[in-house]
A and B are shown apart, each in its own frame.
Chain A
Amino acid sequence: MSITTEVRPEPSVPPRSARGRVPGLSADRSVRSLLLVAALLPTAALVFLTYQMVKTAWPAVIFNGVSFFTTKTFTIGNLYATGTEVHHGYTAAKGASYGILPLVFGTLVSSFIAVTLAVPVSVGGAILLAERIPVRLQGVLGTFLELLAGIPSVVFGLWGVYTFGPVLSRTVFKWIAALHIPWFGGPAGAGQGLLTASLVLAVMIVPIIAATTRELVRSVPSISKEGAVALGLTSSETVRIVTIPFIRTGVVAASILGLARALGETIAVLIISGNFLNAFPHSIFDPFSTMASTIAAFLDSALTDSTGMAVHSLAEVGLVLLVITLVANLAGRMLTRRFSGAGLPVGRGV
């Protein structure tokens, strides 16, 4: 006796039409799978990049151990010396030491200074642009934001090293140094250093924060503003009581994305920072280095290290940078998702 089990095919349910998507009658499968392959490529690229990064960095992770984060000296060692350094079964050139503490310091401090300066400026400017400037002029003045967002980082470097830095060091830096505040004193230098780089980074992330704030301010319901006016509030009180609470989360999210961009910025910092290694800057005017700029500055010489440990260690620097920027980006994007999708942050994250 045979038991026949009837396998009923699943009734072909149309795809959930959450956004009102309507299933086609004879969906062209080959086109669809081609599109799927394309949609998988960003994910594939991400996985590949992360895998390669970890794979390249792994020997350095073993070789450097914890001292990677606790020592101050970053040198690929004496490539012409006899003998090698061996740690945990991995070799590096004699005298090689990979410590990124000053680089982490430089990256974090420059980015935080940049964000601290950029947020009030961009929010104030964006509120003025969206609330006070006549609509006809808004387009013209908004061009400054687009222009600022479009200027390449190497051009910012060119500007920072020949125009902005020298002008600052001759004027503002001297005034600040004359006040003799600890960490804000000492010789102002030629304008290549922590403060100049932070200011240029601030200018670079202003468009990200300002453009988002502008969109958010525009999306504030006018009924709330009208209510505030009807209660007799002045325009600045309206901004404080109605607009700011409405846009707060979005501004924080955009600031975090701006922070992520500043953390990963390479070329402008490489040109303006003065590339100072192996010690902490003594004052805010001193030269310094960041993780990203060190990768760019060191790769050429790292290639001459026959043990390969220099290349591996730079990859480890990249890995740490990657983790820091990803955490910042994720935090920013999660916040963006929480508030309504009105103001998509504009400009590349990093």
Chain B
Amino acid sequence: MTARRIRNAAFWSACTLAFLCVAAPALSVLISVFHQALPALGWSLLLKRTNGIGIQNAILGTLVMLLGVLILAGGVGVAAGIYLAEFATGRHERLLRFFSEILAGMPAIVIGYIGYITMVVQFHWGFSLAAAVISLSILVLPYVVKTTEVALRQVPTFLREASAGLGLDSTTTVWRILIPPALPGIVSGLIVALAISTGELAPLLFTAGFSDQNPSLALVHHQVPYLTGVIFTDLALPGARAHATSAAAGAVTLILLIILIAVGRLVSRGARRATARMTI
């Protein structure tokens, strides 16, 4: 009996140790980045650009890209998810979903490389907002499709039946009956997509370029500064200031991500409640 009890205790201690191994790196990353960023933290970070001692242009550039991803990947992905959940049937449906999942497995650097070869070089767009946003959107598109589809699937069937019984056509059914309860799920999927876009560098390395100027909304021929780019370039530069700027950009990225995660949590809690309300 005691042997079993000892084995039991040993097992759970091992699990606790494992959990600590999960939690410790997360804490360590946070502490390390903010600690390294300390010398650079201050209002000048937000007020000056990267030619001074700030990262204002990079923050704005990242936000502009997020807006672009929200419009492009959000629009296309939600529409595709609606089609897959509500209209596609049979082999057609399986095939589309399969290819979307394969796209999710595409390494980010491959997307960036092709983005460079085609958009930046062949299309003569140069390093540009369009090339960056399209690369990022391809990266996150499968996520938006998947979460939209799952959110719509969780809307109970009787709502569709009731809607048809009242004589609504399928388009109206989707917009008026099915989207509202699925909205929190769709939005939390979009937030995940934005979080991925905030932190990605590989697809942007060869498509966005960089600039000390604040980003314009010009789609092509204007390079866009962005946060992860600052982290990466300043990391390799000599000098304490560059190092601190790199870490400060990392800290700002983390803050942005924490905000996104928090909002996503609130929304997905709403999603769970909406689902609970629907399943009688």
Binding site for B on A (CB under 8 A): 15-16, 18-28, 31-32, 34-36, 38-43, 45-46, 49, 52-53, 56, 120-125, 127-129, 132, 141, 144-148, 150-159, 161-164, 203, 206, 210, 234-237, 239, 260, 263-264, 266-267, 271, 292, 295-296, 299, 311, 314-315, 318, 321-322, 325-326, 328-330, 333, 344, 348-350
Contacts and interface: CB of A to CB of B under 8 A. Distances in A.
Given A24-B169, A154-B228, A155-B254, A39 B83 contact: yes
Given A163-B32, A234-B8, A344 B150 contact: yes
Interface string B171-183: 1110000000000
User: Which residue of B16, B109, B168, B253 has the most chain A CB atoms within 10 A of its CB atom?
Assistant: B109
A174 to B, nearest CB: 20
B231 interface: yes
Nearest to A18: B89
Given A19-B153, A144-B22, A158-B231, A318 B79 contact: no
Contact of B111 (A22, A49, A203): A49
B277 interface: no
Nearest to B156: A20
A16 B164 CA distance: 15
The size class of the interface chain B forms with chain A is: 35 or more
Nearest to B200: A152
Given A38-B83, A150-B257, A292-B109, A210 B157 contact: no
Nearest to B228: A154
Nearest to A200: B25
Nearest to B168: A24
Of all A-B residue pairs in the complex, the 3 with the closest CB atoms, nearest first, are A152-B199, A124-B18, A24-B170
A26 to B, nearest CB: 5
Interface of B: 4-5, 7-8, 11-12, 14-19, 21-23, 25-30, 32-33, 36, 75-77, 79-80, 82-84, 86-90, 95-96, 99-111, 113-114, 116-118, 138-143, 145, 150, 153, 157-158, 160-161, 163-164, 167-173, 195-196, 198-202, 205-206, 228, 231-232, 235, 243, 246-247, 250, 253-254, 257-258, 260-261, 265
B79 A296 contact: no
B25 A203 contact: yes
B169 A26 contact: yes
Contacts of B95: 43
